[in-house]
Amino acid sequence: MRASHVKSSHPAQTTYRVIGDSEVPWEFGDYLQEYQSVRTQAAAFDLSSLGLIRLRGDVIPFLQHVLARDVEYLAPDRSLTSLVLREDGLPLAIVTLYVLDQEILVETSVGDGTALLEHFRANATPDVEISDLRDDTCLFGVEGPYAWGVVGRVFDTGVTALPYEAVMEMSWNGHSIVFSRSGFTGEYGYKIFAPAEAATQLWEVLVREATPAGERALEAAMLEVRQPVLHREGGVDVLTAAFNWLVDSTKQDFVGRESVMAHTTDSVPTRTIGFSTAATATLEPQAAIKAAGIPIGQVLVTEFSPTLDAVVGLARIDKEFAAAGLTLSAAGPTDVDDIEVTTLPSPYVVPTSWRTPIL
């Protein structure tokens, strides 16, 4: 199990969870404060739980084979997000590629670094060099409507003008780093790849400028804008999970394509949809979702949304009920009283950054 490069710099009250192959800082102290920093100011994320892989050599044909999105014309200094599928068509990882002059960096979904590394090595040709960077490289994120101010002060004001999905190599305090404008929450977001020897120094600088926020606040904000969290939503086909936006259906060949194409709208009986319920409600994963008292699916995940002052969640339900604005019910923890839930259109929360200019 992998722990953070900067665990010794986390607050004493930090709580952790194990997700996949990694120990993840779940809360640094106060969930509400961490969440509010994402939506109203700027939050710093320790993203050590994400796998990091470096690819060199004849990389594009290899990526065309293992990724569900087309990368044939992927431009330098850009990033791209895609699914990686198993042979049976089920999601293995959600990855983001960062294209540099001489190599491509691959960031995996939380806790999936080891599984993806094995998958890549099993499918690689001899002319592709694959390296696990997790021991040598740290990854941090800064997100929020004023994240641009944080990175401008810590790095250079010029980086605030980067377009979305842009990538650049630069120097910070004598260290070579990779800087990207990308994120998870719908707010302005930036990621920084830095050598492990710079990890503690960089983290301490970032958290002087931004509130450290844990995985709970990150996943809550992702849920609100319907960004997929694979360890909570995986295990089903692409259409059922509503991950089809991460697959290029016109691409002719990639691992898992045959299984993906075998699933049609008519053949998949359930869908994933968001819902909200009262702030005081307690719903457990796998709790039954009902229509007129008849079970039609189950809860996947819930989290309290301070912005909505409500519990929001995802449910997997019969496809005929997968529409926004329906009033359904869910089985409560005591099975005595059902809890009313309302299906939602996404995003469930409009990010503050959508109406906050970069100055």
Tell me if the bond preceding 347 is cis, omega within 30° of 0. yes
193-245 pLDDT tens trace: 999 999 999 999 999 999 999 999 999 999 999 999 999 998 899 999 999 89
Kindly state the percentage of the chain with pLDDT values over 70.
Answer: 99
Nearest to 69 by CA among 258, 255, 225, 296: 255
CB-based contacts of 10, cutoff 8 Å, min separation 6 = 4, 25, 28, 46, 212
Across 81-103, average pLDDT: 96
Phi, psi angle pair for 202, to nearest 5° = -70, -45
Question: Which pLDDT does position 234 carry in this prediction?
Answer: 82
Question: Which pLDDT does position 335 carry in this prediction?
Answer: 63
Phi, psi angle pair for 156, to nearest 5° = -165, 140
Question: Which pLDDT does position 161 carry in this prediction?
Answer: 87
CB-based contacts of 321, cutoff 8 Å, min separation 6 = 291, 296, 297, 328, 343
Contact 78, 178 (CB under 8 A): no
Question: Which pLDDT does position 115 carry in this prediction?
Answer: 96
Q: What is d(CA 93, CA 110) in angstroms, rounded to the nearest whole number?
A: 9
Q: Dihedral of the CA atoms 285, 287, 290, 294 (nearest 10)?
A: 140
CATH 3.30.1360.120 residue ranges of the chain are 7-224
Question: Which pLDDT does position 10 carry in this prediction?
Answer: 97
pLDDT grade for 297, boundaries at 50, 70 and 90: very high
Q: What size, in residues, is the chain?
A: 359
CATH 3.30.1360.120 fits 7-224, yes or no: yes
245-294 pLDDT tens trace: 999 989 999 999 999 888 877 788 999 999 999 999 989 899 999 999 99
CATH 2.40.30.110 residue ranges of the chain are 270-359
Across 4-10, average pLDDT: 96
3-state secondary structure of 54: strand
Question: Which pLDDT does position 216 carry in this prediction?
Answer: 98
CATH architecture under which domain 270-359 falls: Beta Barrel (2.40)
Nearest to 52 by CA among 108, 125, 111: 108
Across 53-75, average pLDDT: 96
Alpha-helical (H) ranges within the chain are 31-40, 59-66, 113-123, 147-154, 199-209, 215-224, 230-233, 238-241, 257-262
